[in-house]
Structure 1
Amino acid sequence: MTADTRGIEWVKRIQAIAQAGLAYSKDAYDLERFEELRAISVEMMSAYSGLAIEQVANLFANESGYQTPKVDVRGVVMQDGKLLLVKEKTDGGWSLPGGWADIGLSPKEIVVKEVKEESGYDVEPVKLLAVLDRNKHPHPPLAHHVYKLFIQCKLTGGQAQTSIETTEVGFFAEDELPPLSTDRVTSGQIAMLFKQVREPLGETIFD
């Protein structure tokens, strides 16, 4: 872990403490101190990440209530031993179809929606393969603490179709993977998922 990465993790912890304090404290003096602590965490994150303070404030410190990890849901769809991937418009890398969990939808409902929107395919969720802590895997640093859910899905219909977020759709063998969007998925995770699918009686992996 680099110094910048460690710094970002410290800042996220400070932000979480400040947010919890703002959610539960009643004393006006304490609330003022927690507001100040939150403002400092925004400045620190801006310094570590290179993002403008306004951008960090919007993305990093605009929530209320006790802070909990965000949830990223990804669909694992196989066809003839090949894995469904979509090419992300934001960075040109390939990823499993998926995204942030939506309020009001279950993990099953989210993965069905995300796979359809990003790839054009209809799927049926069949098994939770893994629940991973993003911080424990070699992703680029992120302002949020994230849990990643990988859900195996059975292909039921549809056809390849891009979206506002994706520019290509394809199925890839394990030894023929394209460049990955490492913000979203790593090569180690892909290898783990292929192994999980090959061992249908295996247990769910979790960090």
Structure 2
Amino acid sequence: MSSENPSFTRRLEQARRLLALAQTGLHYTTGIFDKERYDEIATIAHEQIAEIASMETGKVAELFAFESGYANPKLDVRCAVFNEAGQILLVQEAADGLWSLPGGWADVGLSPAENAAKEVREESGYTVEIVRLLAAWDTAKHCHPPSVFHIWKLVFLGKVLHAGEKIGEETDAVGFFSLNDLPALSLGRIMPGQIRRLDELRRGADVDFD
């Protein structure tokens, strides 16, 4: 998917909103005919997203199959961990071979901070103390590649307590990197400018938010 064309981005946003309206309508409606109408709207939205994203309609429907209830943005929780040399901890994503901050979708039953610490431990092997929240970003307001989901991203500052072995299967490698020599990043997850901003934020007391 390309994010260069404003018309492209707007069409994707409209299709996501249409799907959210259908999902919310299906959650609240009690009428058989209303349910049929909302199902039809959801199908149209799936087709629109599939066309925009160059995906199969069935694949889009599969992605949203477990999205039910009142429609909300997806919550992506990540952790920025710096060592004494000012290098940042990154993990290599098995899905695309690119690098990112440890993190992922928030799990039910854990707080955002607990999610961040769990993701670091599973994806890198490091046990961290969560120090504070650094940023709360709406990915649609940044230059991430367009996504079929509307995503909010929370980034916490983590402090290493001790190292261990990686226990997850979603990452292939882990390392600390200089901000001036970052590896190829998974831009849907994190961008170079955001990493530099997180470095600025950790040195002060501000929280960056959209």
TM-score, length-scaled by structure 1: 0.94
**Contact preservation (8 Å) 1:162, 1:168:** no
Find the counterpart in structure 2 of residue 30 from structure 1.
34
Specify whether residues 15 and 61 from structure 1 end up closer, same or farther in structure 2 by C-alpha distance, changes over 3 A only. farther
How far did residue 140 of structure 1 move?
1.0
How far did residue 61 of structure 1 move?
4.7
1:144 aligns with 2:149: yes
Find the counterpart in structure 2 of residue 187 from structure 1.
192
How far did residue 160 of structure 1 move?
6.1
2: distance between equivalents of 1:190 and 1:99? Answer: 16
Find the counterpart in structure 2 of residue 204 from structure 1.
207
Unaligned runs of 5+ in 2: none
1: distance between equivalents of 2:33 and 2:176? Answer: 57
1:124 aligns with 2:163: no
CA shift digits 1:131-162 (9 cap, x unpaired): 00010111111111111000001100014647
Find the counterpart in structure 2 of residue 6 from structure 1.
10
**Contact preservation (8 Å) 1:77, 1:83:** yes
How far did residue 122 of structure 1 move?
0.5
3-state SS of paired residue (1:167):
strand
**Contact preservation (8 Å) 1:160, 1:169:** no
1:85 aligns with 2:90: yes
Q: Which amino acid aligns with 1:10?
A: Q
3-state SS of paired residue (1:79):
coil
RMSD: 1.4
**Contact preservation (8 Å) 1:74, 1:150:** yes
How far did residue 88 of structure 1 move?
1.0
1: distance between equivalents of 2:188 and 2:116? Answer: 18
3-state SS of paired residue (2:25):
helix
Identity, in percent, stands at 46
2: distance between equivalents of 1:186 and 1:36? Answer: 37
Q: Which amino acid aligns with 2:208?
A: I
1:66 aligns with 2:70: yes
TM-score, length-scaled by structure 2: 0.93
1:55 aligns with 2:46: no
1: distance between equivalents of 2:97 and 2:114? Answer: 27
CA shift digits 1:42-72 (9 cap, x unpaired): 1111111121111110103542211001100
Q: What is the number of equivalent residue pairs in this alignment?
A: 205
